[in-house]
Chain A
Amino acid sequence: MIAQKTKLLLLGFLLCSATSMAQEKLYFGQTEIGFLYGRGAEQWDGNHERRIDISFMTFNGVHITKSQVVGFTIGLDQYDDISIIPFALGWRGFLGKESKPKIFGGFDIGGGSAILEKKESNEWSKSWYEGGLMYSPSVGISFPALKGNSSFSFSLAYKRQNITYFQGSLLQSGSPTIASDLLPPGFSSMNENNYIYRSFVARVGLMF
C-alpha cells in the first residue's frame, strides 16, 4: 500500500516537473499485446516443458526530456494457469528523428499481483498465491502512423516474475503450538512453491 502511494506521489511529482518544461507533447502512452515464451523448470526426467502464454501491458507516462519517458506499467500476464497483474515503474528512451521509425528501450521494475487467483480454504487447509518481484528490460521499434501523433510499436522483452504458491495445513484439535518463526501462527505445516518465471516477450501495439 505504501509502495503504491510512493509511486503515485512520484508520478505526480514528475507530472509537475514535466509541465514546467516546454514540451510539445507531455503525455506518453504505450499499449501492447503479445506472447510470453519460456521453458518450464527441469522435470524429473530432465526435460523442460515449453510455455507460451498471452501478455498484455499498458504504460502511461510523461516525458522528462524530449526522448525519455517515465511512468507506470500495468498489465496482465498468464503463466500456465496462473494470471498475474504486473505493476511497475517504467522508463522508456527513444533514438531517432521525429516522424521516422525510432528505436526504443525500456525498463520496468515492480511486482506482480495474484489477486485474480482464488484463495482456497477449508477446515483443514488454506492455499493461495502471492506475486513477487517483476522486472522487464525491453527494446523495440516504433513506426509513425500516417496521421496524428500515434505510432505502431513492436517490442521484444525479457520478463522475470516471481510467484509463490502457499499450501498450509491448519493446526487441529489438541495440537500444541510450537514457538517458531518458521511457521505462521495457526498452521501445522506449510508447503511453499516459489516460481521464478523467466520469459521472452514479443509484443505489438500502439504508442500515442
Chain B
Amino acid sequence: MKSLYSAFSLLFLLSVLLFSSCVDEVTNTYTYQTMVPIYLEMSDVRARIISTEPAQPLDNPGKIYIYEDYLFINEPTKGIHILNNADPSNPINLSFIPIAGNVDMAVNGKILYADNYVDLLAFDLSNINDIKLVKRVEDVFKHMYRHETGEIITFRDTVITTDSPTWERGDMFLMNSSKSYSANYSAAAQSYGTGGSMARFTLANSHLYAVDETTMRVFDVENPAEPTFVKPIDLGWGIETIFPFEDKLFIGSNIGMHIYDASTPSSPTRMAVYEHVQACDPVVVNSDYAFVTLRDGTSCWNGANQLQVIDIKDLYQPTLVKSYPMLNPHGLGLAGDFLYLTEGNHGLKSFNVSDVMNIDQNQLEFLTSEKSVDLIPGPNSLIVIGPDGVCQFDYSNPSKLKKLSCIQVKNPVKFY
C-alpha cells in the first residue's frame, strides 16, 4: 500500500512538472575584454604628489630609455621603472615613479621628460634615489581634452559580462579587445603602436619633439629644467614612430615615412613623404639608407612582411632600393653596419647591411628561440624586448650574440 502511495505521489509530481514548466529556457551571457572610459579632472591629476616609490615588478613594459648606467622602463599609463644596469648581466630594479597617463619619456642632461595626460613633466635626475618633479608644462597634449573644461577622457582595460539577450546587443562585434588600450602601448606595440592619442618623444638639437597620431609638438629644452612649448606641427594621420638622425627627423606613419628637416630646430619643415602600402613600420636610418619594416598585424591588415631599404641620399627624393621578405618583422636597430631585427614570435635576426643589395645573403644569426618585438642597441648591451621580458645581449661580437640577462615580466603580452 505504501508503494502505491509513492507511485501516486510520483504521478502527481509529474503532472505538476508537465503542466507548469514544459517551456525551454535560454539564458545568454557575453563576456568580453574591452575598455571603459574614465573621465578625469586634470586638476585632480595635478594635485597628486609624484615621488619615487619602491621598486615594482615589471608588468607590461613599454618604451625603454637608456640613461647613463640606468634603464628607464615605461609601464604604459602607470609610470616609469628605474633599473640600475651598470652590470647588464644583472640589472637591479631600483624604484618606480608613478605617473598616471604616462606613455613616453626622454632624458636631456639630468632632466627626465615624461607625459602626464595633457601635461609634460620634467624631473631632476641628479640624485637617482630622490627624483624630483621640477617643472610641469600644462595643457600641451590638448587633444586629450574632451572639451574645454579641463576634463580628460582615458580608458581602462576591463572584462565585462552582460546577460542581455543577443538581439539587444547590436554592437557586440564592435567591442573587441584589439581596441583595448594597453594593447596599443604595450611592449609588443610600443614603438609602432596602433595609433592612439599619446605622445612619442625624441630629443634633437636642444628640442624635444613629441608626436601623437596626427601632430608633432616642439618644445625648446635649451634650459633642460625649463621646457617651453614652441608649437604644434600637423603631420597627417597614423603617426607611429619618430627617429632623429643628424638634423633630420624620420617619422614613421602607417602610410609611409615622413622626412623633416630640423636644421631650424624650433620649426621642422617637411622634405618628403615616402609612401608605401599601409603597414606597421618602425624606421631606422644611417647616412645613406633608411630601413623600414612592414608587417601585417592587428591594425595593419594590408601589410606585407618586408624589410625595405630606402635610399635617402637625396632626402627630397627617397627611393626604394630593395625589399626583402621577412616573417613578421617588428622593431629594428642599427649598430654601425649591423642591423638587428625582431621577428615577433619567430625570433631575432642579425644582418650585415654594408651591402644593401645583398642583405639576405649576409644574415649572421637567426635566434629562433628569442621571441622579440623591439630592441635598442645600447652602449653596453643590446636590449631586446620580447613578450616574456626584457633581455640583454652582449653584442661586442656582432655576429655572435651572447645573452647576459633577462628581466621577467608579470604579464606577458601575446602577439603574432
Contact = CB atoms under 8 A, between A and B. Distances in A.
B237 interface: no
B26 A194 contact: yes
A173 B3 contact: no
Contact of A173 (B18, B21, B298): B298
Give the residue among A39, A67, A188 with the most B Cβ atoms within 10 A: A188
A182 B159 CA distance: 7
B317 interface: no
B413 interface: yes
A203 interface: no
A178 B26 CA distance: 29
A134 B7 CA distance: 21
Interface string B1-43: 0011011001101100110011111111111110000000000
A177 interface: yes
Interface in A10-63: 37-42, 44, 48, 51
B178 A175 contact: yes
What's the interface size class on A, roughly? 35 or more
Contacts, number: 155
B22 A38 contact: yes
A153 interface: no
Interface centre among A51, A173, A190 (most CB of B within 10 A): A173
Nearest to A79: B24
Q: How large is the interface on B (under 10, 10 to 19, 20 to 34, 35 or more residues)?
A: 35 or more
B180 to A, nearest CB: 6
A172 interface: yes
A174 B186 contact: yes
A133 interface: no
Interface SS of chain A? strand
B133 to A, nearest CB: 29
B24 A183 contact: no
A122 interface: no
Given A176-B157, A193-B28, A139 B33 contact: no
Q: At the interface, is chain B mostly helix, strand, loop or mixed?
A: mixed
B18 A200 contact: yes
A105 B194 contact: no
A198 B17 CA distance: 9
B167 A137 contact: no
Contact of A175 (B4, B7, B13, B414): B414
Given A93-B3, A95-B7, A183-B33, A172 B177 contact: yes
Contact of A174 (B10, B297, B411): B297
Contact of A41 (B3, B11, B26, B194): B26
B23 A38 contact: yes
B333 to A, nearest CB: 20
A17 B116 CA distance: 77
B368 to A, nearest CB: 19
Contacts of A200: 18, 22
A72 interface: no
Nearest to B33: A188
Interface string A191-208: 111111111100000000
Contact of B416 (A48, A138, A172, A198): A172
A48 B22 CA distance: 11
A169 B30 CA distance: 11
A2 B188 CA distance: 43
A117 to B, nearest CB: 17
Contact of A139 (B14, B194, B416): B14
Contacts of B189: 174
A48 B24 CA distance: 9
Contact of A192 (B18, B31, B60, B167): B31
A190 B21 CA distance: 29
Interface string A154-174: 001110000000000101111
A112 B166 CA distance: 25
B158 A178 contact: yes
Interface in B179-238: 180, 182-183, 186, 188-189, 194
A197 B24 contact: yes
A103 interface: yes
Contacts of B7: 93, 95, 103, 105, 139
A177 B3 CA distance: 59
Nearest to B297: A173
Interface in A57-86: 67
A121 interface: no
Contact of B26 (A174, A182, A188, A193): A193
Interface string B145-185: 00000000000011101000111000010011110101100
A30 B29 CA distance: 39
A99 interface: no
B161 A178 contact: no
B366 interface: no
10 contacts: A67-B3, A95-B3, A172-B416, A174-B194, A174-B415, A175-B33, A177-B412, A189-B175, A191-B31, A199-B22
Given A139-B14, A177-B411, A192-B30, 8 more contacts: A44-B167, A67-B3, A173-B416, A174-B188, A175-B177, A189-B175, A189-B176, A193-B27
Interface of A: 37-42, 44, 48, 51, 67, 93, 95, 103, 105, 137-139, 156-158, 169, 171-180, 182-183, 188-200
